[in-house]
Amino acid sequence: MTLLSTKGLSRNFGGLKAVHNVDFELQVGEIRAIIGPNGAGKTTFVSLLSGRIAPSKGSVEFLGRDITREPAFKRVRQGIAYTFQITSVYFKLSAYENVALSAQSALTRAKVPFARLHSEQIAERVDFALRRVGLQDRAAARAGELSYGHQRLLEVAMGLALEPKLLILDEPTQGLSDGEIENFCALVREIAETATILLIEHNMPVVMQLADTITVLNAGEILASGTPEAIRANPAVQAAYLGS
């Protein structure tokens, strides 16, 4: 079943074609990786999917519904969560409070009456999300005092608290130690049991072990798409990105 698709999706910045005429399909339950050289249009592409920027032309559908002109907050309510390439947390709030904001948003989306948004309901979701990313012992710490790697994991916890249908992760292993990366890979596999994952990642060992399918962007266009084995062996991908 197709979860998300685009047709002719494009975004221009002046004369620069950051994303050009992209047709793309993402299936329910899939772990899809997007790779490509710097400047290939990866972050612009997922920003179009999440509604953070508007397309110059083309369309985006989510669960068969056209969401091309819907803003990011409405897409979040439909189940699209996006963690940023550069951390986007509330530095003066605690880790717990950051995740609680997402948990409250999810309960609101589920149409739980405001009067019933008891702290116990929110606490349950927050505790669950923090445990999944391994930050339960840092719940009281201010987000700004966490290491960069832990801020990345906090953002993932905020995404999980939204209970998304689609979780978009932009460079999630950046700043993580080898041990944290190993734990992160296990986490992604766990998340994929209940949500679809779209992953932008430069760490190729992570991509190769996690992705069901890899899509390669180059100069704003899809260069290739296929299994990790097919992508590794693709001469065009080797020339543009992977090397020989």
Structural domains of the chain sorted by starting position, each given as residue range(s) with its CATH number in brackets: 1-79+165-244 (3.40.50.300), 87-163 (no CATH)
The closest alpha carbon to 174, from 205, 149, 210, belongs to 149
Q: What are phi and psi of 86, to 5 degrees?
A: -105, 130
How many whole angstroms separate alpha carbon 196 and alpha carbon 179? 24
Q: How far is CA 191 from CA 38, 55, 66, 159, 236, in A?
A: 27, 29, 26, 11, 32
Q: What is the pLDDT of residue 179?
A: 86
The closest alpha carbon to 123, from 109, 110, 112, 107, belongs to 107
DSSP calls for 107-170: HHHTT--GGG--HHHHHHHHHHHHHHHT-GGGTTSBGGGS-HHHHHHHHHHHHHHT--SEEEEE
How many whole angstroms separate alpha carbon 75 and alpha carbon 196? 15
Q: What is the pLDDT of residue 237?
A: 92
Q: What is the pLDDT of residue 109?
A: 59
Q: What is the pLDDT of residue 115?
A: 42
Q: What is the pLDDT of residue 106?
A: 73
H or E, element range at 237? helix 235-237
| Rg from Cα positions in the chain | 18
Q: What is the pLDDT of residue 105?
A: 76
The closest alpha carbon to 9, from 27, 22, 26, 28, belongs to 22
The closest alpha carbon to 79, from 211, 187, 189, 198, belongs to 198
SS3 86: coil
Provide block-wise average pLDDT over 10 residues at a time, the chain (244 residues): 97 94 97 94 94 96 96 91 73 93 74 56 90 93 91 89 91 84 89 93 93 96 96 91 67
How many whole angstroms separate alpha carbon 122 and alpha carbon 69? 31
**Tokens (6 digits) for 86:** 């550069």
